[in-house]
Structure 1
Amino acid sequence: MATYVYRCDTHGATERSLPIGTARPTTECTACGATAVRVFTAPRLSLGDATRRALIDRTERTADQPDVVSSPGPRPSRRVPVSANPALRRLPRP
């Protein structure tokens, strides 16, 4: 099923779910019975799960409104942990 948008002059846009390829150019408005004309819209590609929509919205928002930080984050530790394996202790270190 595809969702098609029709616009009534009195009541505005309404949506209809119809099988693909069966949408007519006009239909009756559900509220007043007047003729509603089909409006061509972009496909609804963003109707995925909520996590994906939030990620896409956040990514698009950061292009115009980047997050402002008050200080740099913690510095990573440069010390490499020493292995407990005695055989590895004999290897040369960089």
Structure 2
Amino acid sequence: MRSELVFGAMAHISNQFLLTKLAAKATRKLHRPNTRIQETMNAVLVRFSRANPVAGEQPATRLQVVSSVAEVPSNGTHLKQSVA
């Protein structure tokens, strides 16, 4: 039953809202045409119960902002435009 799969997946992800979000994303990415979406969802929950899907994620400790500066002539003047 799916409830057993959900409880198995909750062993690795205690937050039910995070589990729902991750399961939905994984189901969209793993779904194959001409198959039932329910089967894909069950397969995702089985994968989550075997391994922690969040374990590979590393928290962003330091963000680096990269911007480029382009000079755009406008009415004879040069403006600097920052593009993120």
Report the TM-score range of the alignment, normalised by the length of the smaller protein.
under 0.3
TM-score by length of 2: 0.22
Considering fraction of residues, name the structure with more helix.
2
| Greater RCO (CA < 8 Å, at least 6 residues apart) | 2
Considering fraction of residues, name the structure with more strand.
1
In our comparison, the structure showing a higher alpha carbon Rg is: 1
